[in-house]
Chains A and B, each alone.
Chain A
Amino acid sequence: MKSLKSHIAETLYGNAITTAVRIAMGAVFLLSGVLSSLDPAAFGAAVARYGLVPAMLVPYAAILIPSVEVVIGLCLIMGYRTRAAALLGTVLLATFIAAMVYALSAGKSFDCGCFDVKRFGIEFDETIGPKVIARNALFIAALTLVFRARRHVLSLENYRDRLHLTNLS
């Protein structure tokens, strides 16, 4: 029976757990990006609320952020450019956390605009605060695991490497 240390080492190297985390994080980013893309103006208003992006640049941020999330999500789900996608996702989440901390320190309180599910009648409290910040920190930890992994099962990169090895032999 494997020891806990051995299980952890396997997970850090890359196993089914790492793959599940990768695909789950991909789904999170894809969902967030798609929901934000449904109403660019509403997402732009949410971005403007943080008070960090100059008003002139808000439309560009409202277009770029969801599309980056969608591409990161697809890359993670498919297991393509995985490490880059994990790194970019980490940077994005760290930026969101910094923006929330800034808004909280200014005494603001509003919906973070992370998952716009209210349009479907789903009540989901995403007011900026410690819970949302902790959730994003957890996502960063998950992406760090994905970034560190050397092997990604069920991924395009794994398939491409196996194909390359088959061709060599």
Chain B
Amino acid sequence: MNEGWRLIARDCAAIVVVAIVGGVALNLLHPRGYALMKKEGPVGGQIVFIGLDEARIKHQSPAVRFIDAREPEEFAAGRIPGAVNIPAVQGAVPRFDDEASPLGPATEVVLYCDGPACGAAEKLAGRIIDAGYRRHVYILRDGYPGWTAAGLPREQGDTR
């Protein structure tokens, strides 16, 4: 590598290092920054990943509510039948004490989003548990793409 490219590589490394230090510092000071250090486990439920077979069985139970963590436009374009939409970041976490709520006392919840690499369902699950939900929060590992790829029923239409 000639001298010119070596200097550019050195400068690139310097920029990245400054960005990492600055980014971490900003995140620590940010009121809505990420908690990068693992904090003590939440008091309450755990996040449990489930496959399609288990999700299909749970879907048949009236005591189980499916929650779609994607954006409203995607929810309207296609969703698991009976699911309610709570976008992962902006959606309001419903109350726990209302029987009619998706997080009602007798209700089990299964969250889903775009698939294995999508973090939206996990993010929403974390918010629900942080809000004090004491039951397990299930996440459909393969998400909506996995559900449709298996030929399972779906619905479309206005958001709820």
Residues of A within 8 A of B (CB): 37, 39-42, 44-45, 47-49, 51-55, 58-60, 62-64, 66-68, 70-72, 75, 81, 83-85, 87-88, 106, 108-111
- Chain B 1-39 interface residues, beta-carbon cutoff 8 Å to A: 8, 11-12, 14-16, 18-20, 22-24, 26-27, 30, 32-34, 36
Q: Which of B50-58, B117-125, B150-158 contacts A (4 or more CB under 8 A)?
A: B117-125
> Is the pair A37, B26 in contact by a Cβ cutoff of 8 Å?
yes
> Is the pair A45, B15 in contact by a Cβ cutoff of 8 Å?
no
> Is the pair A85, B15 in contact by a Cβ cutoff of 8 Å?
yes
B115 within 8 A of A: yes
Q: A39-B32, A63-B24, A67-B26 are in contact. Are A109 and B73 (CB under 8 A)?
A: yes
A44-B119, A63-B23, A109-B73 known; 15 new pairs, CB 8 Å cut-off, are A40-B27, A40-B30, A41-B123, A45-B119, A62-B34, A64-B19, A64-B23, A66-B23, A67-B26, A68-B23, A71-B18, A75-B15, A81-B15, A83-B11, A84-B11
- A63 and B19 alpha carbons, distance in the complex (Å): 9
Chain A nearest Cβ from B119, distance in angstroms: 3
What residues of chain B lie closer than 8 Å to A106, measured between beta carbons? Answer: 145
What residues of chain A lie closer than 8 Å to B119, measured between beta carbons? Answer: 44-45, 47-48, 55, 58
What residues of chain B lie closer than 8 Å to A63, measured between beta carbons? Answer: 23-24, 26-27, 33-34, 36
Residue of B nearest to A66 (CB): B23
Chain B nearest Cβ from A109, distance in angstroms: 7
Q: A67-B19, A67-B22, A88-B12 are in contact. Are A40 and B118 (CB under 8 A)?
A: no
Main SS class of interface, A = helix
What residues of chain B lie closer than 8 Å to A37, measured between beta carbons? Answer: 26, 30
- A144 and B114 alpha carbons, distance in the complex (Å): 35
What sequence of 0s and 1s flags, for each residue 113-153 of chain B, a beta carbon within 8 Å of any chain A beta carbon?
A: 01101111011000000000000000000000100000000
What are the 8 tightest A-B residue pairs by CB atom distance, in nearest-first order? A67-B23, A84-B11, A48-B119, A59-B34, A55-B119, A68-B19, A67-B19, A81-B11
What residues of chain B lie closer than 8 Å to A68, measured between beta carbons? Answer: 15-16, 19, 23
Residue of B nearest to A83 (CB): B8
What residues of chain A lie closer than 8 Å to B89, measured between beta carbons? Answer: 39, 41-42, 45
> Is the pair A84, B23 in contact by a Cβ cutoff of 8 Å?
no
- A96 and B15 alpha carbons, distance in the complex (Å): 19
Chain A nearest Cβ from B50, distance in angstroms: 16
Interface hub of B34, B71, B122 (most chain A Cβ within 10 A): B34
Interface hub of B14, B19, B30, B145 (most chain A Cβ within 10 A): B19
B109 within 8 A of A: no
What residues of chain A lie closer than 8 Å to B145, measured between beta carbons? Answer: 106
Q: List 25 A-B contacts (CB under 8 A).
A: A39-B32, A40-B27, A40-B33, A41-B32, A44-B119, A48-B118, A48-B120, A51-B118, A55-B117, A55-B119, A55-B122, A59-B34, A59-B36, A62-B34, A63-B23, A63-B34, A63-B36, A67-B23, A81-B11, A84-B8, A85-B11, A85-B15, A109-B73, A110-B73, A110-B74
